[in-house]
Structure 1
Amino acid sequence: MTTFIRALLAGSFLAPVIIAAAPVAAHDAPTDATSAVAGAAASPASADWVARSNQYTQQLLEMQAQFQPEGASQAGLEQFDGLAMDLGPKIGERYVAASRAMQDEFKAALARETDPNLKQDLAILIASLQQDIDGTQISDRLMLDWYDVPQMIFGNINSLLDDQVAPERRAKARELLERYTGIHPGTTPLTELAKARFADSRADGKIGPYRGDLDDTLPKIPTYIAGIRELFAKYDIAAPEALDALERQLTEYGEWESATIVPLARDSFRLPEELYAFRLRQVGIDIPPQELIERARRGFYETRAQMEMLAPQVAAKLGLPTSDYPSVITALKQDRIPQDQLEARYAQVLAQLEEVIRREKIISLPDYPVLMRLGSEAENAASPAPHMLPPRLIGNTGERGQFVLTTGPATSDSTGFDDFNFAAAAWTLSAHEGRPGHELQFAQMVERGVSQARILYAFNSTNAEGWALYTEAEMLPHEPVEGQLIALQHRLLRAARAMLDPMLNLGLTDVATAERVLRDEARFSPAMVKQEVDRYTFRMPGQAGSYFYGYGRLLDIRMEAELALGDKFDRMAFNDFVVGQGLLPLDLLAQAVREQFVPAQRGR
């Protein structure tokens, strides 16, 4: 299975805060590409070179759309609406061949072009393709090809059937569903193609999916089916034959998975070492995992100590009988926001954060409010963590990103989520997913005309999540003291992730220890603990450490600029500059700050 298609199975081309699509660091590019940008630093978008860069990116998008048109559609290329992914024979070989041919074209352009920013973007595209090639070959060599087809179909339909998508585009959902189910002329049901690709991939020495992954996803099939029916009903799109066919096919696919895939599933979640190392590089972690663990252990200790110092202040403010941080967090969770009031409460907090951002001159703001909504039951199943859905990235006509609060179904017992639906939690989560975090990050890139290469192909979890965690820190001093404590709790979680993900995957600890740390030290709910361990072990192995690592790298870039500029350092100018670079790999962002931002500020 190509890593490009594997990354898109959750149904979002970028899904930057859900699942990364073809993430890349420019320093992973071939030597001739990286040397071309060694002396170039990114600058804010200017029409000439950005337009030429976007032409090259368009070529890559169109090539990849031949294999996964849903991704191109979600990025904004309307000509691919209603078309379904290619799961035909030898998909990996064909994708690698197409990627190599496109690499050759981009390398020739790299030698021909003279603009340093354009050369930098070409290097990003070349590196993205190389990472796809490497990941596809590693995966095809080591893994059996199993596709979570029900989740993938729901994700793609959910992206197309959205209030911000034009009605004429939403109408294409019927064609897409008919292609998935084989009703459209000349098509084969996606479930049958997935079964065939699994059969093709079988060979001695390959490993199957983790049993826990199957145990998690198989019971969700009825939820995805119901979620798709609800979307078609919501937008009054009549497709009874295709919907009935989908229900039969996905139900039968689940039975096939139980009979065929489950017996071949592996009992250990640990990936082959080579594949786990690739996953770390893919999300932007470019240091050895042992070094990441060591940094995270120190960060965990320091953040826990800060929580111990702050908790008595919260207890004094609220008149609590005990002042240790576990007891204080437990007390704060009692201030639960009713489900029907969550959107209004979060909107209120987002408005207050914007007031602070303007007053303290933290970063420039768009002139419209954040879109925030609760996740549906099917969205909760597909992506349990709160997240931001990016806006249309190509040809945007006013579409905006959406902060989706997924908290799972409300429960009256102790097994459900209680981590985001209490008053003190709304502050740091709103800063992270809303403003000045992910929502603003993507809104500003679209508004400023950042090149498509830097939005779509320079993305990785380290640069995206590093920004969001950095913005949590920017807002923390301006939040009520109880909000500050929960912000530190979430910072503690990011350090725990950077410890536990590599430790679990390298066999340095066990699940019981990870659960204890998350439950007893970080103080998260049983449902949240399960979600976290699932993330480390099968949902996104390697990704969890990117928050802590990206945050640390961005803090270092910030402090280097502060020390270089002294009294001339301007926080708002710095933050605007960082967002204006797009999702550059952090090495190149540091170079841009050093070579462009600092000299410009000195000259003021």
Structure 2
Amino acid sequence: MSRLSFGIAVLLASGGVFAATPEWVARSDAYTQPVLKDTGKYQPEESTELGDESFDTGVADFKPRDYERQLADTEKRLQALRRERAAEKDVKVRQDLDILIDSREKLIASMKLERQYLLNYVNVGELVYGGLRALLDTRNKPARQKLALVRLKRYAGTESGYTPMATLVRARTEERLANKGLIGPYVGEVEEGLNNNATYMNGIEELLKKDGLSGWEADFAALKAQVKAYDEWVRSRILPRARKEVRLPEPVYVNRLVNVGVDITPGQMIERASFDFQEVRDQMQVVAGTIAAQRKLLSPDYRDVMRELKKTSIPADQLLPYYRERLKDIEGIIRAHNLVTLPAREANIRTASPAEAARTPAPFMNPPRMIGNTGEYGEFVIPLANPNAKSKERMDDFDYAAVSWGVTAHEARPGHELQFASMVEQGMSVARARFAFNSANVEGWGLYSEALVLPYMPPEGQLAALQIRLLRMARAMLDPMINTGRMTPEQAKAFLMKEVVLSEPFAQSEVDRYSYRSPGQATAYYYGYVKLRALKTLAEIELGERFNLKAFNDFIIAQGILPPELMKQAVLEDFIPAQKAAK
């Protein structure tokens, strides 16, 4: 999701002022460039999201022997990186080479495991929507947006030398269908993809019209027809092979945990998170009792108090102004209590389109481009509904007054918006910004940010923020419980609605996430948060009265997106000694 690369200079927070790239960063980036090119060769859409314009007209490689070719290239790159690591003398550059080596080792392990066990399902409608949306992003310059017309032609196969994407994906999948030992995709994933593709096609058309491009109509009509035909093939060939049992093979699930930064077993995760779930629920009960007494509510139970808070819904046309005002409140708290350094500019907040909501039915950070950034920043995006809901119940989880405190702290400031903006403004090696990335280090900071602001929120804001934290504990329990067969998605959904007080649409999006959207990823919030809070405690013990919270948080932000173990190393070897020397 979030990646970063720079050439000779980076834009600083003051605006228009440039600083030279440190020599070690330039050396590191030179080692990283071939790895970036490998990514672009097979997944150019991902490179587009990174900001690497050299792949903006490319399309995903589903030509014959795509797996064998990518695996061979990755193994060759890994050997080259190991040789370079052995010869490199600079400590920081060696650390970046370790990051690159680890990323290649994980990619190879993942490719082999999924090839061994799974019949992969590719939703062509979602694939082409993502690839075109990345180019049609309003933050891109018009010349880059126009390249979407080239990618569109190549997706549709209307350019000479290109086969329709739907035809290539179908051919590769047919090859795998012959292996009866492979486990099919989860039936819910396939059905959701089929249901959402009309929304994705409408989303593409709206983006093309919005950007004022011309000459795309025939190519888009061809692509739309191809996606429709592909979906019919999916119904006849993939749905019969889809598995009814949601759980993944254990080696595949454990590998996915590793890839998001979790290095403990599913059983250990369940045990730890179950304990913390009880702790947070007890904290909620204390705060709920205070609110119930103040408001003279009939019930002090946290579930009933949360339902009362949700009644203060904000009309859709007032939601953005409300969140912007809440951000100002939080920024005032941050400055008053010296929590972290803030930039002078305002953060970007907007609501999601229907296609974006279908793809990500919860508040999210749309990161800035991380390669070739010229001042673009991330966007805090708020969906107003979940198109994948199983009922007509309203999603009331993000549009009431109290919840705006925790959501804004997580997605905007001091959370993800500040996290990614710091990377853009300070600059850092591509390896640290792109290949050290995992959900634990990103989402750990988001949840940590909520905790920074929570003591200064009003009681209603505290209760809603604790509810968000409770959800993260629930995720860390339920995701592995579903994927180890200890709970069904239906049971998990009922638990979320009863104990975490989620609406039906949001609870549905949560269990979809654990079941097939991204099994294992939801556990990373909790795990990254635990690691970061433990690291803060360690620094406090080491420094005693010399510990400075703002200095610690600024240091963490300045490291970019480092995995927990590398972040710990940086704190122990750089931050703590520097603080001791400065006092």
Count of residues in Structure 1 that have an aligned counterpart in Structure 2: 563
Q: Please give the alpha-carbon distance, in whole angstroms, between the structure 2 residues aligned to 1:333 and 1:227.
A: 30
Is 1:102 aligned to 2:102, yes or no? no
Structure 2 partner of 1:444? 422
**Hey, what's the Cα distance between the residues in 1 that align with 2:126 and 2:106?**
25
CA–CA distance in structure 1, aligned partners of residues 517 and 401 of structure 2: 29
- The Cα shift of 1:321 comes to 3.3
Checking the alignment, whether the CA contact within 8 Å between 1:140 and 1:201 is kept in structure 2 is no
Contact 2:437 2:561 in 1 (8 A): yes
Residue 198 of structure 2: aligned partner: 222
Is 1:388–1:438's contact at 8 Å kept on the other side of the alignment? yes
Secondary structure (helix, strand or coil) at the match of 1:603 reads: helix
* Residues 527-559 of structure 1: per-residue CA shift (max 9 Å, x gap): 111111111111111111111111111110000
Matches of 2:134 and 2:295, distance apart in 1: 43
**In the TM superposition, what is the alpha-carbon distance from 1:218 to its structure 2 partner?**
0.8
456, 465, 473: which one pairs with 2:443? 465
Structure 1 position 319, deviation (Å): 4.1
- Please state how far the C-alpha of 1:299 moved relative to its aligned partner: 0.4
Residues 1:212 and 2:188 aligned together: yes
Other structure's SS at 1:430 match: helix
Structure 1: any 5+ residue segments left out of the alignment? 1-13, 17-44
1:2-41 paired onto structure 2 within 5 Å: 14=1
* 1:87-121 superposed Cα distances (whole Å, 9 cap, x missing partner): 11111111111111111221111111111110010
> Of the candidates 209, 212, 222, which is equivalent to residue 233 of structure 1?
209
Percentage identity across paired residues of the two chains: 43
1:417 equivalent among 379, 390, 395: 395
Match of 2:14 in 1: none
Within 5 A, what are the aligned runs for 1:357-368? Answer: 357-368=334-345
Whichever residue aligns with residue 283 of structure 1, its letter is V
Q: SS at the partner of 1:423?
A: coil
User: 1:222 is matched by which residue type in structure 2?
Assistant: A
Kept in 1, the 8 Å contact 2:482–2:489? The answer is yes
Match of 2:360 in 1: 383
On the 8 A contact 1:462/1:549 being kept in 2, the answer is yes
- Aligned letter for 1:526? E
CA positional deviation for 1:315: 2.3
- Note the alpha carbon deviations across 1:550-572, whole angstroms, 9 max, x for none: 11111100000001111100001
- Structure 2 match to 1:335: 312
Q: Offset at 1:409?
A: 6.2
Once the 2 structures are TM-superposed, how far is the Cα of residue 199 of structure 1 from its aligned partner?
Answer: 1.1
2:61 counterpart of 1:83: no
CA contact (8 A) 2:2 2:420 kept: no
Cα distance, 1:317 vs. partner? 3.6
Q: Counterpart in 2 of 1:66?
A: 41
AA partner of residue 235 (structure 1)? D
Which of 561, 568, 580 aligns to 2:546? It is 568
Map of 1:84-483 to 2, 5 A cutoff? 84-202=59-177, 203-238=179-214, 239-408=216-385, 415-483=393-461
Aligned-residue offset at 1:414? 6.1
Partner of residue 465, structure 2: 487
Q: TM-score, normalised by structure 1?
A: 0.91
Instruction: Give the CA deviation at 1:78.
Output: 1.5
Contact 1:191–1:250, Cα closer than 8 Å, also in 2: yes
Deviation at 1:77, TM superposition (A): 1.7
Deviation at 1:216, TM superposition (A): 1.4
Shift of residue 185, structure 1, vs aligned partner: 1.4
| 3-state DSSP of counterpart to 2:522 | coil
Letter in 2 for 1:296: A
8 Å contact 1:424–1:483 — kept in the other structure? Answer: yes
Distance in structure 2 (CA, Å) of the matches to 1:585 and 1:145: 28
| CA shift for structure 1 position 492 | 0.6
Q: Tell me how far apart the structure 2 counterparts of residues 174 and 150 of structure 1 sit (CA, whole Å).
A: 17
Q: Deviations over 1:124-160 (max 9, x none)?
A: 1111111111111111111113201111111121121
Partner Cα separation in structure 2 for residue 57 and residue 319 of structure 1? 61
Measure how far apart 1:320 and its partner are: 3.0
Secondary structure class of the residue paired with 2:381: strand
With the length of structure 2 as denominator, give the TM-score of the two structures. 0.94
Q: Secondary structure at the match of 2:425?
A: helix
| CA distance 1:101–1:182, shift in 2 (3 Å) | same
Per-residue deviation, 1:46:
6.4
Gaps of 5+ in 2: 4-19
The AA in structure 2 aligned to 1:316 is A
AA matched with 1:128: S
Would the aligned equivalents of 2:514 and 2:520 in 1 still touch at CA under 8 Å?
yes
CA shift for structure 1 position 251: 1.1
1:318 Cα deviation after fit: 3.6
CA distance in 2, matches of 1:522, 1:119: 45
Distance 2:330 2:165 in 1: 45
The separation in 2 between residues aligned to 1:338 and 1:253, in whole angstroms, is 39
* CA offset digits 1:305-332 (Å, max 9, x no partner): 0000000222234443332111111111
Question: Conserved in 1, the CA contact under 8 Å of 2:45 and 2:134?
Answer: no
Of 458, 462, 475, 1:497 maps to: 475
C-alpha contact 1:386 1:407 (8 A) present in aligned 2:
no
1:331-351 C-alpha deviation (Å, 9 max, x unpaired): 111111111111111111111
| Conservation of the 8 A alpha-carbon contact between 1:308 and 1:325 | yes
* One-letter amino acid of the structure 2 residue matched with residue 65 of structure 1: G
Q: Aligned equivalents of 2:186 and 2:241: distance in 1?
A: 9
Q: Is the 8 A contact 1:388 1:433 kept in 2?
A: yes
- SS state at 1:490 partner: helix
Check conservation: 1:70, 1:81, Cα contact below 8 A: yes
Deviations, residues 425-449 of structure 1 (Å, cap 9, x unaligned): 1110011111111111111012111
Q: Secondary structure at 1:403's aligned position in 2?
A: strand
**Structure 2: which amino acid aligns with 1:49?**
W
Q: How large is the Cα RMSD of the aligned pairs? A: 1.6
The secondary structure found in structure 2 opposite 1:244 is: helix
CA contact (8 A) 1:146 1:194 kept: no
Q: Is the contact made by 2:48 and 2:134 (CA closer than 8 Å) also made in structure 1?
A: no
More moved, 511-520 vs 584-593: 511-520
- List per-residue Cα deviations over 1:367-417 (Å, max 9, x = no partner): 211111100001111111211011111111010001111131699x86231
Report if the CA contact (8 A) 1:145-1:197 is conserved.
Answer: no
CA distance in 1, matches of 2:341, 2:33: 29
* The 10-residue stretch of structure 1 (295-304 or 315-324) with the greater mean CA deviation from structure 2: 315-324
Structure 1 position 293, deviation (Å) = 0.7
User: How far apart are 1:231 and its partner, in Å?
Assistant: 0.3
Q: Distance in 1 between matches of 2:490 and 2:170?
A: 35
Equivalent AA in structure 2 for residue 125 of structure 1 = L
Q: Which amino acid aligns with 2:118?
A: M
Q: Is the 8 Å Cα contact of residues 45 and 130 (structure 2) preserved in structure 1?
A: no
Tell me, in whole angstroms, the C-alpha distance in 1 between the residues paired with 2:253 and 2:120. Answer: 17
